[in-house]
Structure 1
Amino acid sequence: MEITREIHMQQKTVRRLILFPLPLQGHITPMLQLASILYTKGFSITIIHTQFNPPNPSSYPHFTFHSIPDGLLESEANTSDVIRLLTVMNVNCITPFRDCLAKLLADVSNDPVACLITDAMWHFTQSVAEILKIPRIVLRTSSVCSFLAFVALPHLREKNLSIQEEPVQELPPLKLKDLPMIATRNSEDLYQLLSLAVKEIRASSGLIWNSFEDLEPLALTTWTQEFTIPTFPIGPFHKYFPASSSSLLTQDQSSISWLNTQAPKSVIYVSFGSIAALNEAQFLEIAWGLANSNQPFLWVVRPGLVRGSEWLEPLPNGFLENLNGRGHIVKWAPQEKVLAHHATGGF
């Protein structure tokens, strides 16, 4: 009887977390890794996701998944202009997300909800959380340094800086030309997206970084001086939970078998992720650079990486054959396994 009562008490203290990942590879993976970490700490996990780039629920049988419509037209449901995509989705998802979250909060048959965790770029979710009176914690999936640069961009625009060699006083020793820019048809979308994301981060209940203090001490100090919300640098998540099952693209496992035949720390690993695009001249510059390096290389060439090409068509005839096995090209790789492999010497 005492044991039954103790189990019942433990069950009553289980709290639920609702997570809402951004539907891009570099955002879904760390969010699901974070969910797995929190699950081991005793939380039950509910994932709200869009119909665009949905995660595979069968890979996470211990989570509950809820899909919401994202209202994307067929012509919009791609990452050719990721800033425009996120701008549209931050508008389209307001009502379906609010309705889904309200329904989950009202469901007394489930564990009580402790808080909402959303990607930092889902800026609309802050106002929804405030309306429904639930704390919102933000996950930022990139490094602290890179996000500080994005935070600076709207301010620099207001100063009307245009000289590429101009020093960025907020981010020494960087110059204007060093700052990250994301190609988009309408630059106003980029500045507005970043401004809204930063504004709603400031209003949130806290921010989780997939980073750690020893890696970015100066950047974290700068961040905490400017942002007064609680900050949790608890990464790197992949050290706790590798998330290969969250890949949106089919991983070519020949990457690993090929690496197994290479000398320790000899291979250059090259990948530009799931969104970046190159023109043919840039692609060929990289190809010849790798060929002339005389180093073994593993190169991820995602279909559509080269504008106007399906895959490897721009490569000269006999390019791969002339390497005599020193190069291996795949459409997508199990990246965490590749980076951890003893043969990988640089990336």
Structure 2
Amino acid sequence: MLTLAELLSQAGFTISFVNNEQSHRRLDQAAFRRRCPGIEFLSIPDGLPPDHPRSGPSTVDLLFSVSTFSKPIFENLIASMSPPPACIISDGVMSFAIDVAAELGIPAITFRTYSATCTWTCFHLEKLIQDAEIPVLQGSDEDMNKLISCIPGLENIMRRRDLPHICRLDLENPVLKLYITQSSQMAKASALILNTFEELEASPSKSVLYVSFGSVIILTRDQFVEFWYGLVNSEKRFLWAIRPDLIWDVNGPSKVPEELTVGTRDRGRIVGWAPQEDVLAHDAIGGFLTNSTLESICAGKPMICWPVIADQQVNSRCVSEMWKVGLDMKDICERSTVEKLVRDLMDGGRKDIMKSTVEIGRLAQNSVSNIRHSPLMSLLELFTGRVYLC
């Protein structure tokens, strides 16, 4: 945290560093002020007696005490500052600061010294309990080496013996409960700072299916539900852009089945809009369920075509049989078919599709880069006046 404060100070920010009184006294504040005169050191009591060690096994006492005792004091400190802070950055196990920030209308950022992978694992502690993966009890090598399947992105990596030490505690242990609470609270912050770097812990590539049906197509409620079930049942991660007028339902909105809500929470994300070209260009995207052909080709991403109008029927046949850059789901909207085609595309079993997609994507990029030498540009150069597009 001190290193982060120093970096921010050197970048031109004015920093107030708030600590508990015991740690505050131990800091060599003079040395930090010489290097970073923009840092102001402040302290608040943590509710523990002066002779409490606050380290080793006793660190737990500090966490519990600060969570309850220090919150109102911290809130009074922040409220008294003039001008008020532009942002509060709090330790990941000091989530009371997020609540204080919300009450005072100040953005909150959580700083976690864990790796991204460990933080992601802590986010799934409740899921691990639901799936009876914890508590981890010392057993045979076979038991301890069992792969954990309920943490997205780590299905074939994390074993039971690799889970954090708190996962070996009894489910009623207050320390485990504290970690669950603190981890879930982090999701309420405006942003998250992790002590890692992108290249070390980048997401698994080509693991997400992007779904979008453009700006014209309308789905019936039944079609919408079938697509949704197929996506959830495929057990693949997906990002679905659903514009407000996508669903046509003469009977009005109906309740979403609980299993779809739960399945989406685990592996999916539904948004009202997405920057399509940027999304398709991202390395995490492994496929596109769509009726927009050329954007997917230019991005070098294989697709599942669901044609509805105009040129889409012809294009979808070309995609599957001529260009071999995707699969055709023409005239079908049924959950088991959606599930099967999503699995076929995302599991990488169709090597011919992957090879063709890369090659045709390269050709598309070359074509765009050579547009200045195209016949169209040669034609337009014949005109000296303004060209109108209508």
User: TM-score of the superposition, structure 1-length normalised?
Assistant: 0.49
Higher helix proportion (structure 1 or 2): 2
Q: Which structure's CA Rg is the greater one?
A: 2
Q: Which has the higher contact order (CA 8 A, sep 6+)?
A: 1
